[in-house]
Amino acid sequence: MTVSVVLVTVVWALREPPPSQPRTDETATGALTPEKIPLVTGDESLIDIFTRPGCPVCHIIPGIPSATGQVGPPLVLSTTGAQRLKDPGYRGEAKTVHEYIVESVLDPQRFVVQGYPAHTMPTWYGSKLSALALEKIAAYLERQTAGDSVP
Ligand code: HEC
């Protein structure tokens, strides 16, 4: 009996946001604006290098806790990278998977992975990620395989 009273109270309380918290219509991804993202120098931990710019919001990244986003493809480029470069629709300039990752982060529109939305990944990472950070991102992602993404 007490339990159900508590439950009803909780459900009731969750119906409306408390008046002290203003409603925002920002989605998780809409909150990612360049002003809110600090510069990533590359000296941070690997987890911070991926987490600060918000990659986990949209991507599964093996080994990065909380990186369970499904807006973009799982970042398992050891498995998927070669296919991208061979894709007849690929018009980028990358010759290696490493280069492809860097290109994908700096210029996401260059090649839009089939089955995923265009104009969704931020296009301003070039101004937020140092060359070292980008290098570490590419070096890490090119080693990840699809098997790793299944816990
Ligand atoms: C708001 C969502 C969003 C965020 C944040 C985001 N991405 Fe993406 N990303 C996507 C989508 C959608 C695609 C697929 C469409 C495309 O290729 O542009 C993609 C594609 C990619 C690809 C190509 C993957 C493949 O399988 O070919 C890489 C690499 C990548 N993202 C890396 C990153 C990294 C690194 C970060 C953080 C610095 C990041 N993304 C942040 C949405 C996002």
In a domain? residue 103:
yes
In a domain? residue 74:
yes
Mean pLDDT of 120-142: 97
Tell me which residue range forms the domain holding 80: 32-149
What is the three-state SS of 85-137?
A: HHCCCCCCCCCCHHHHHHHHHHCCCCCCCCCCCCCCCCCCHHHCECHHHHHHH
In a domain? residue 4:
no
Mean pLDDT of 108-112: 97
pLDDT exceeds 80 at position 11: no
Mean pLDDT of 34-53: 95
In a domain? residue 10:
no
**This prediction's pTM:** 0.83
Q: For the chain, what's the residue count?
A: 151
In a domain? residue 27:
no
In a domain? residue 105:
yes
Residue 27 and residue 39 in contact, taking contact as beta carbons nearer than 8 Å: no
Two tokens, residue 137:
């991102």
DSSP three-state, residue 40: strand
pLDDT exceeds 80 at position 115: yes
Long-range contacts of 91-99 (CB under 8 A, 24+ apart): 97/142, 98/138, 98/139, 98/142, 99/138
pLDDT exceeds 50 at position 21: no
Residue 26 confidence (pLDDT)? 44
Ligand 1 centroid to Cα of residue 101, in Å, is 9
In a domain? residue 114:
yes
- Ligand 1 binding pocket (C-beta < 6 A) is 29, 32, 53-55, 57-59, 71-73, 75, 80, 84, 101, 104-105, 108, 111-113, 116-117, 120-122, 125, 137, 141
Helices and strands (H, E) in the chain, number of each type: 7, 0
